[in-house]
Structure 1
Amino acid sequence: MSLVPALLCLAIAAIALGWLSLAWRRLKQASALDEGSRRLGIEGASVQAGPYRMFFRFARRRAPAPARLPVVLVHGLVISSRYMEPLAHSLARDFDVFAPDLPGFGESPLASAREVLSITRLADALRLWLNACGFERAMFVGNSFGCQVLADFAVRYPHAVDRLVLQAPTPDPAARSLPRQAWRDWLNGRRERPRTPAAPGRIDYAKAGLWRAIATMRMLVRDPIDERLKRVAAPALVVAGTRDPVVPLAWAAEAARRLPHGALMTIEGGTHTLNYAAPHAFAFAITPFLKAAGSDLFRSPHR
């Protein structure tokens, strides 16, 4: 290669890297709430939860109804409560809904960019956040990696958990590797178009940073959720989309069987992030479970 083409290639590469760096910085500086949040009636606040300053989104119940426990939404891998906004809006018809950013993600930064909390420490942070908000007990809805945090939380803090909805709990024991997970995530992104959470995901990956993202992905595939589910005492509903390549129906059914008080619900045509891709269908499906009295929790054809 002659000198001129080589210099041209280097210049193009430098421009591309500069553009990517600028785009990354802009993503990191994205505001917590935007016009779309306000249209959905989503508000935000922060509390000091032990050593963590934790941001959370919330939506107040819109319809008059009997007093109910709050519903807490727990986000998935690397992403934050930003992509829980559509589900929060849908559930707020009947419930007060809260969605925290776990420490290190979204608007709840850690002091060091290299600090990565284990699943157990993330569950502990969730407990500290509950205390800081004045909640002794709640109903919980998790998506994907959020189900892993909730499983750990429910085992160690059973008195704080009224009931659980585990939507697409990861990892499928048959896919405990980063390449397999990446391939399944890519397939899911294709299937979720045009309602994919890719746009909020780019913001949250920038805010978390690549180091924390990769370290958390490694935790996801190594976590023994299949063993932990056996010790969850609370009633739990596993929700699976029939077109979810990340959490196949066979694993979702096995997860429900492992739960001492578990049941499976399938959503036809659903994919991995129902909270964003199909929030109204998801909320409609789980609302009877969230409203049910203890003796009626599993009076369902999906049991």
Structure 2
Amino acid sequence: MPTAKANGINLYYEQAGSGPPLLFISGTGGDLRNKPNQFDGPFPKAFDMVSYDQRGLGRSAKPDTAYTMADYADDASALMGELGIEKAHVIGVSFGGMVAQELVLRHPHRVDRLVLACTSPGGAGGASFAFHEIGHLQGEARAKHLTPISDTRRDDAWATANPDTYKQIIAMSSADPYADEPGHEMGARRQLEARAHHDTWDRLKQIEAPTLIAAGRYDGIALPQAQENLASRIKGSTLRFFEGGHLFMIQDRTATATMIKFLNGEEV
């Protein structure tokens, strides 16, 4: 099992593909055991991609201490160092986009080109949906609550008109095969506590890396206005909306193609 000692803890990582180095930072609850995942998409066909389970998640260490967004950014930078990657393109998705913001701010020398996908700046720029406030909801109840938020088109009328699709979405969203693992609940909770304090708003003007902000038009988790705010604050950034909600990267096939073009330095 590939692990690296990074920032004082063991992080599980995977690496695949060839080409320029790419660090892919996953979202809330990300676990590389869940398939399909980023390694089953087009990125490893274009880049030498590394992705990992963040602290408290998956097969990485789960220290029972308070986590901070700075910890997550320092983990990413330290992992790159352990793997001999001086600088890489970075894609951060949702919570991973928050980590990516901290990474480029705390360790700018690590980031070549940056993609911030369905994420938010926090603070006065707007926060993403407050997952830490729905900890009492689990399984099917949680999935039913989040489905119309994740994609605002999926309201009650849509669910009634598309019962089979709705049932499938709820079943997939409810599943948590690793819920009973030691430290699972604690690590997930620690992540949400750190996420609740994410705020890069006053520092975003410091970002110099070429940045693409990518988002779904119907995302109720990382709101479209937050994307506009990010774009207004990161100088020279490019903002693109796609046909989808929080999962726009799998709902709109042009999204990943656009990200790859951007990371290759092409116009998008």
What TM-score, normalized by structure 1, do the two folds share? 0.69
How far off is 1:174 after superposition?
Answer: 6.0
Equivalent residues in 2 for 1:232-243, closer than 5 Å: 232-243=207-218
- Is the 1:143–1:273 contact (alpha carbons within 8 Å) kept by the matching residues of 2? no
How many matched pairs?
Answer: 242
Query: Could you tell me how far apart the structure 2 residues matched to 1:248 and 1:149 are?
Result: 18
How far off is 1:96 after superposition?
Answer: 1.6
- Is the 2:222–2:246 contact (alpha carbons within 8 Å) kept by the matching residues of 1? yes
Q: Give per-residue Cα distances to partners, 1:191-217, cap 9 Å, x unaligned.
A: 596568956972466555323323322
Structure 1 residues 216 and 53, CA, compared in 2 at 3 Å: closer, same or farther? Answer: closer
Structure 1 residues 218 and 282, CA, compared in 2 at 3 Å: closer, same or farther? Answer: same
Equivalent residues in 2 for 1:33-44, closer than 5 Å: none
Structure 1 residues 137 and 201, CA, compared in 2 at 3 Å: closer, same or farther? Answer: farther
Q: Give per-residue Cα distances to partners, 1:210-249, cap 9 Å, x unaligned.
A: 2332332233232213223222221111101112111121
Q: Which residue of 2 aligns with 1:98?
A: 50
SS in 1 for 2:47: coil
Q: CA RMSD in A?
A: 3.1
Alignment equivalent of 1:187, drawn from 134, 141, 148: 148
Structure 1 residues 241 and 175, CA, compared in 2 at 3 Å: closer, same or farther? Answer: closer
Q: Which residue of 2 aligns with 1:69?
A: 20
Q: Give per-residue Cα distances to partners, 1:18-58, cap 9 Å, x unaligned.
A: xxxxxxxxxxxxxxxxxxxxxxxxxx622222422111122
Equivalent residues in 2 for 1:66-215, closer than 5 Å: 68-82=19-33, 86-89=37-40, 90-110=42-62, 112=63, 114-170=64-120, 171=122, 173=126, 177=130, 178-179=132-133, 185-188=146-149, 191=154, 194=168, 198=172, 202-203=176-177, 207=181, 209-215=184-190
Larger radius of gyration: 1
SS in 2 for 1:202: coil
Structure 1 residues 204 and 283, CA, compared in 2 at 3 Å: closer, same or farther? Answer: farther
Structure 1 residues 278 and 145, CA, compared in 2 at 3 Å: closer, same or farther? Answer: same
Q: Which residue of 2 aligns with 1:47?
A: 4
Q: Which residue of 2 aligns with 1:25?
A: none
- Is the 2:56–2:188 contact (alpha carbons within 8 Å) kept by the matching residues of 1? no
Unpaired runs of 5+ residues, structure 2, are 136-141, 155-164
Q: Which residue of 2 aligns with 1:11?
A: none
> Match of 1:126, as an amino acid?
A
Do residues 224 (structure 1) and 174 (structure 2) align? no
Query: Could you tell me how far apart the structure 2 residues matched to 1:238 and 1:148 are?
Result: 12
> Match of 1:108, as an amino acid?
S
Structure with greater proportional helix content: 1
- Is the 1:79–1:204 contact (alpha carbons within 8 Å) kept by the matching residues of 2? no
Query: Could you tell me how far apart the structure 1 residues matched to 2:178 and 2:236 are?
Result: 34
